[in-house]
Structure 1
Amino acid sequence: MPDTIIYFSRHGETDWNVSERIQGQEDVDINARGRKQADRNGDLLKSLIGNGEGFDFVASPLRRTRDTMERIRTRMDVDPKAYRTDDRLMEVNFGDWQGYMMEDIEAKSPELVMARAKDKWNFVPPGKTAESYAMLGARVADWLSEVKGPTVCVTHGGCLRTIFQMVEGLDGHDAANLPITQDHILHFEEGRLTWL
């Protein structure tokens, strides 16, 4: 992990989060509650770092993370569009499972759901572009290797699970099953992660 301060935010809630539909890299908007969560995180960041002068602002290019970042930056009283995106911060790609409910996948392919339950960290869903959490962790680690200064990052639950795995040394099973909140900021500094 880099020797700097990073404030992470998961994107605000989407209707697919509420219904437990698998999003992965599908482009889904945040809902009204998600907008409030993003505003809350923006207010918190403003109280911590003011207008973020000297911070790099980066988000996943998916719409839900960009919308969250823009709301955060608006609450910080800075240009909402003055940030960059990085594809390495996109959510884990669930391949052919994206857009489906887990219960529907379980009805169609119970053996695959069982295989995933046994090793969620390394399981790769069907589909040409599908990834495991381990694969996601490799691209997030690649992004982290380039972080050189204070950063505000808006990303996804899967990416944050890999951050916990790297920083806290969690085994894959525990990391893959961590609940990741959408209404708090995750603060990284001096090798420690703290929810704010």
Structure 2
Amino acid sequence: MNPSRPKIYFIRHGETDWNLEGRLQGQKDIPLNDLGRVQAEEAGRRLQSVAPHYEDLAYMASPMLRTRETMEILRGAIGLHPEGYKLDERLVEITFGAWEGMTWKEVRKAEPQLAALRERDKWNYIPPGGESYAMLVDRIHPVIEDITRDTVIVAHGGVARAFLALCCGVNSRQAASMDIWQGRVLVIEGRNHRWV
């Protein structure tokens, strides 16, 4: 990746009821809950504190409901028009296929052998009807190449892991298990990243 690449302010969508219940959302379109809306406002304030020229940044989001809600709330919280951003289909969350809607506990009970295979190699494992992180990286790579100016991206935990692997060289084993916080901003600058 190009070390002089524009700065990326990555924001994971706020909490949903499925997040709270530990359910695999993937590409199911679940709305924010009350805490998620508060987290979206908080992410806006954090963005404002770390990016003094926030009004001049490009803004881009996954087209899923939870990411659009997060983007519109955070933009409103910092005085920008809620709908002044672009959608990019490539930013949708990794799909867990047949496992979407289940908790990991339910997956381990229903399909213990498959769950064990995934635990051995989270990055490359493809759930039934789903997608691996390695496949997600292939989908996300062109998005990163298309970024030409400092950009705010509102997307998903899996997508954040792909960005960390591609932009910052985080190894796949570590990236697959990293916590991706809601209500905070992941600043990616060159090969470095930090949470604000």
d(CA) in 2 for partners of 1:19 and 1:96?
Answer: 18
Q: CA deviation at 1:22?
A: 0.5
User: Any idea what SS the aligned residue of 2:56 has?
Assistant: coil
Mapped pair 1:172 → 2:172: yes
Q: CA deviation at 1:50?
A: 5.0
Aligned to 1:49: 51
d(CA) in 1 for partners of 2:58 and 2:168?
Answer: 24
Aligned to 2:28: 26
User: Any idea what SS the aligned residue of 1:53 has?
Assistant: helix
Q: Which runs of 5+ in 1 are unaligned?
A: none
> In the alignment, is the contact (CA less than 8 A) between 1:6 and 1:152 conserved in 2?
yes
User: Any idea what SS the aligned residue of 1:104 has?
Assistant: helix
TM-score normalised by the chain length of structure 1:
0.94
2:115 pairs with one of 113, 116, 134:
113
d(CA) in 2 for partners of 1:18 and 1:134?
Answer: 26
Q: 1:167 to 1:50 in 2, by over 3 A?
A: closer
User: How many residue pairs were aligned?
Assistant: 194
Aligned to 1:139: 139
Q: CA deviation at 1:24?
A: 0.3
Aligned to 1:94: 96
Q: Which runs of 5+ in 2 are unaligned?
A: none
2:71 pairs with one of 56, 69, 72:
69
d(CA) in 2 for partners of 1:78 and 1:165?
Answer: 31
Q: 1:169 to 1:49 in 2, by over 3 A?
A: closer
Please report the RMSD computed on the Cα atoms of aligned residues, expressed in angstroms: 1.4
List per-residue Cα deviations over 1:56-115 (Å, max 9, x = no partner). 100000000000000110012111011111011111011111111222221121110000
User: Any idea what SS the aligned residue of 1:71 has?
Assistant: helix
User: Any idea what SS the aligned residue of 1:180 has?
Assistant: coil
Structure 1, 51-60 or 140-149: larger mean CA deviation: 51-60
Q: Aligned partner of 2:32: which letter?
A: I
Aligned to 2:182: 182
Q: Aligned partner of 2:137: which letter?
A: G
Q: CA deviation at 1:154?
A: 0.3
Q: 1:168 to 1:48 in 2, by over 3 A?
A: closer
> In the alignment, is the contact (CA less than 8 A) between 1:91 and 1:155 conserved in 2?
yes
